[in-house]
Structure 1
Amino acid sequence: MAASALTLVCAVAAGVAGSAAGTELTRGPSTAELHAAAEREIAGRWRNWPAGRVFPATLPYSAEQGGRERAGRIGISPHTSCEDAVDAAAAKALRQAGCKGVLRATYIDALRGVLVTIGVAAFPDELSAVRAKSAFAGGGRPVPGLRPLAFPGTVADRFTADVRQSGSVRQAGPYLVLTTAGQVDGRPADAASEPRPAIFAFATEISERVLTRLSTPRMPDCTSREWQC
């Protein structure tokens, strides 16, 4: 009799445990799990998105004279090395912050007088990106900063480090988006007659569009292979 009672108790306990396990396996993702999935998806965009999605063929901006213009993409670098993409003074900070890669593309303004290279630096998390940001110059200064990306045989073939006249850095989520800008004619920064920050203002605007696209969360779809909930 005692043995039968013990068997019944064990069976009930096993049934309860099995029911709990089944509930755990079939329940939907919790809010915390959805947030974690969204963060993982954002952090992987720099690697998972096609290059043309990160850097569209054109990017709109507000023209200096008013109205809207579009900057055109000249090319995208196939290389993603963190240290090669920035000045040596900033490379160490990127390495210490765990930089995973830097994507770069060069654009030209609608008047075809100014070039800008946009760089997307990816980090393990937001805190790492915040730490790395302090290594870059502020106030529109280009050094230390992103190295320009030239393309031989194009209008950007003279876009070298000496040509840089303006720079910027922005951060959101696990990303830094950097810019460096100069004039198409290849004139060195120290040869410019006087500073003209207005002609480079569009560089920051188009870089912020790139950053917004990369860092804006979207609702996870746990039925899709794209997500890990």
Structure 2
Amino acid sequence: MAPGAGRPVVSFGEPEGYDEQARPRPLGMRLRPRIAVAAACVVLGVGLIGGAVTGSWLIGEPGDGGARDTFAAAGSLWHGVPVDRLFPPKVIGKGAGPGGADRTWTRIAVAPDTGCTGAFDPLLRKALAPVGCQRLLRATYTDATQSYVTTVGMLFTDADATAMRSLDSRVSKEGLDRRTDLMPRPYAAKGTLAAGFGNEQRASWTISVLTDAPVVVYAVSGWADHRTVDEPQPAEEAMESGATSAVGQAGLGHEAQGLADRVERALRKNVGPSTEQSS
């Protein structure tokens, strides 16, 4: 049930590198990614298979110069792109809900960009340590009914492509993205629907290690009435057809996965039109 009617209160932290209107402050020369080599092929990641966005900006041989340029460009987006382009005020999720229903999410809070101290549970912090932490960006959204809250985050790492591929492989092989002791922490903003969204309220989550950018994208969802959750489920399980858990039936897996997918798409688009070519 929705905790209340009306539009949610929006609370904006002032991210370092942005002014009070969430516009980037001058930080020297703006990022201008170089044009990828002619043989490179951009894939925009618009395919949605099993709720997960797949694809790569550039498909080329290992060591391709254009791919390296794009990888580096993506790692600098946190201080060169307005917050509204990384975390749009409203996100439309066509077919992102249970049964292919459309979803709409409204941003209710943006956290100041920070390092990673205190941002992750100890075991998740240890798992992510090999790729380092350059910057962490987070925002919290609510759905159209104000029944759910979801924090989505982007961890910009210090890693190169090889280290990102290694982490992605480990996460996949060891199932690190499915362990309840490795859930991301939510961003609970005072004065918003997410004020009581703490660790005990985490219901479903997803973690995606990008291999064509030094970024880890994650999302964690819960109920907006601040109820505690005894048995959280990873989004992949909660989204399974016929899921009987409270988390699955509420669609909280779809909330986490749907928002993470679309924030990842926004990240890819922000690399810049100069790198985008038709494949």
TM range (shorter): 0.7 to 0.9
Question: Contact between 2:203 and 2:247, CA under 8 Å: does it hold in 1?
Answer: no
CA distance in structure 1 between the aligned counterparts of 2:199 and 2:91, rounded to whole angstroms? 24
Report the more deviating stretch, 155-164 or 95-104.
Answer: 95-104
Question: Contact between 1:37 and 1:220, CA under 8 Å: does it hold in 2?
Answer: no
CA distance in structure 1 between the aligned counterparts of 2:189 and 2:113, rounded to whole angstroms? 13
| Structure 2 equivalent of residue 145 of structure 1 | 183
Task: Specify whether residues 164 and 37 from structure 1 end up closer, same or farther in structure 2 by C-alpha distance, changes over 3 A only.
Answer: same
For residues 39-188 of structure 1, the aligned pairs below 5 Å read 39-61=71-93, 62-64=96-98, 67-123=101-157, 124-133=159-168, 134=171, 137-139=176-178, 142-172=180-210, 173=212, 174-188=214-228
Report the more deviating stretch, 166-175 or 128-137.
Answer: 128-137
Secondary structure of 2:205's counterpart equals: strand
Question: Contact between 2:105 and 2:141, CA under 8 Å: does it hold in 1?
Answer: yes
1:147 CA displacement = 0.7
1:220 CA displacement = 3.8
| Structure 2 equivalent of residue 225 of structure 1 | none
The one of 192, 195, 209 aligned to 2:246: 195
1:35 CA displacement = 4.0
Amino acid paired to 2:79:
R
CA distance in structure 1 between the aligned counterparts of 2:272 and 2:189, rounded to whole angstroms? 35
Structure with more helix by fraction: 1
Gapped regions of structure 1 (runs ≥ 5): 1-27, 222-229
1:59 CA displacement = 1.0
Secondary structure of 2:181's counterpart equals: coil
TM-score normalised according to structure 1 size:
0.72
Question: Contact between 1:145 and 1:178, CA under 8 Å: does it hold in 2?
Answer: no
Question: Contact between 1:168 and 1:204, CA under 8 Å: does it hold in 2?
Answer: yes
Number of residues of Structure 1 aligned to a counterpart in Structure 2: 193
- Where relative contact order (Cα < 8 A, 6+ residues apart) is larger, the structure is 2
1:140-186 per-residue CA deviation (whole Å, 9 max, x = no partner) reads: x5531211101111111100000001110112222111111110111
Structure showing greater Rg:
1
CA distance in structure 2 between the aligned counterparts of 1:80 and 1:89, rounded to whole angstroms? 19
Question: Contact between 1:104 and 1:119, CA under 8 Å: does it hold in 2?
Answer: yes
Question: Contact between 1:85 and 1:147, CA under 8 Å: does it hold in 2?
Answer: yes
CA RMSD of aligned residues (A): 2.9
1:214 CA displacement = 1.7
Secondary structure of 1:46's counterpart equals: helix
CA distance in structure 2 between the aligned counterparts of 1:204 and 1:112, rounded to whole angstroms? 18
Gapped regions of structure 2 (runs ≥ 5): 1-33, 38-63, 233-243
Question: Contact between 1:137 and 1:145, CA under 8 Å: does it hold in 2?
Answer: no
